């Protein structure tokens, strides 16, 4: 790609400027493109939450893997998004980058209302995050990761909402298909907790044979089974609100995790910025600004 400025009498100087400008464009493109796989991975994780919502509801051991993948996806988006928001200018390029990342999340999932809503939330919070970081950095005299830390709460909260929305749509679809059922772990825990003292009383009785004790425990278990079914019937008229409550619980859990580990992406960024500077990818520049203030005459 040529540059007319290079034909100027001072072509050597202007040629170097053209090379620097081209290198800067390449760096911007690379950083923006990094957002695309980050968004795709986040979309895949949200799809898993949507399709495997029963794991979350059953509190299966695989829930740890599912939540770990979600936290990893959030951390990757936070780090890559932080690099883009801090280094890429003008700001509209950052917004375009998050738009492409949101599209990647959308297409990595299936084309559905759930993926569309989650991708839209992802894009909106990404754009707000980019704008917040840019404004905060512009108001500082020296570069620091502190403004990124302040704006990161918006990004993390938005990603938590997007993930919770995916759980909501998945659980809502499950209820529409099969009806409302209490999670097996909940019913089993309630049954065992309630039966424990009564089972101990039955086992302590000496006037019953082993067969009679087993029959008594079985009848008691059947009675608790009928009790849980009656509870499900009581909740059934309000089942459309259950996915909202479950999604809110996931959001609260992610909010707690984010508040405890929000510093992890910031620390990674604090390490990456000096490395990028040492490698020549980024550089510190000095700007002179004219400040206008109003005072008494």
Percent of the chain with pLDDT over 90: 35
Dump pLDDT digits (tens) for 109-152: 878 888 899 999 999 999 999 999 998 888 877 888 888 888 89
End-to-end CA distance of the chain: 55
Does residue 251 have a pLDDT over 90?
Answer: yes
- pTM equals 0.79
Does residue 6 have a pLDDT over 50?
Answer: no
Q: What average pLDDT does the chain have? A: 82
Nearest partner of 59 among 226, 250, 260, 224, judged by Cα: 250
CA 80 to chain centre: 13
Mean pLDDT of 36-50: 93
Query: Which one has a higher pLDDT value, 242 or 191?
Result: 242
pLDDT value of residue 272 = 92
Mean pLDDT of 11-37: 75
- Alpha-carbon distances, residue 177 vs 180, 182, 255 (angstroms): 9, 15, 30
Mean pLDDT of 26-45: 93
Band the pLDDT of 223: cuts 50, 70, 90.
confident
The residue to which tokens 């090379």 are assigned = 19
Mean pLDDT of 65-73: 89
Does residue 281 have a pLDDT over 90?
Answer: no
pLDDT value of residue 296 = 66
Which tokens go with 280? 């020549």
pLDDT value of residue 110 = 79
How many angstroms separate the CA atoms of 242 and 175, rounded?
9
Which tokens go with 288? 């002179």
Which tokens go with 65? 């893997």
pLDDT value of residue 3 = 47
Dump pLDDT digits (tens) for 159-169: 999 999 999 99
Does residue 5 have a pLDDT over 50?
Answer: no
pLDDT value of residue 143 = 82
Q: Specify the range with the lowest mean pLDDT, choosing from 42-56, 102-116, 194-208, 258-272.
A: 194-208
Asked if omega into 90 is within 30° of 0 (cis), the reply is yes
Does residue 255 have a pLDDT over 80?
Answer: yes
């Amino acid at each position: 790609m040529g540059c007319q400025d290079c034909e100027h009498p001072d072509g050597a100087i202007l040629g170097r400027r053209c090379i620097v400008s081209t290198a800067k464009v390449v760096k911007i493109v690379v950083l923006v493109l990094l957002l695309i796989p980050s968004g795709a991975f986040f979309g895949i994780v949200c799809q898993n939450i949507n399709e495997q919502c029963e794991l979350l509801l059953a509190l299966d051991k695989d829930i740890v893997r599912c939540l770990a993948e979600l936290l990893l996806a959030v951390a990757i988006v936070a780090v890559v998004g932080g690099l883009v928001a801090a280094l890429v200018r003008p700001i509209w390029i950052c917004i375009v980058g998050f738009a492409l990342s949101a599209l990647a999340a959308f297409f990595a999932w299936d084309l559905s209302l759930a993926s569309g809503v989650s991708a839209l939330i992802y894009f909106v919070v990404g754009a707000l995050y980019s704008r917040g970081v840019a404004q905060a950095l512009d108001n500082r005299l020296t570069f620091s990761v502190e403004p990124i830390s302040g704006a990161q709460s918006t990004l993390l909260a938005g990603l938590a909402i997007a993930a919770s929305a995916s759980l909501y749509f998945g659980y809502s679809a499950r209820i529409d298909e099969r009806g409302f059922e209490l999670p097996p772990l909940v019913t089993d825990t309630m049954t065992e907790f309630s039966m424990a003292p009564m089972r101990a009383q039955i086992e302590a009785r000496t006037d019953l044979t082993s067969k009679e004790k087993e029959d008594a425990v079985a009848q008691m278990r059947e009675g608790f089974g009928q009790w849980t079914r009656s509870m499900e019937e009581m909740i059934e008229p309000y089942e459309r609100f259950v996915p909202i409550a479950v999604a809110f619980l996931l959001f609260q859990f992610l909010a707690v995790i984010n508040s405890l580990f929000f510093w992890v992406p910031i620390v990674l960024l604090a390490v990456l910025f000096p490395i990028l500077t040492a490698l020549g990818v980024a550089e510190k520049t000095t700007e002179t600004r004219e400040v206008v203030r109003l005072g008494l005459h």
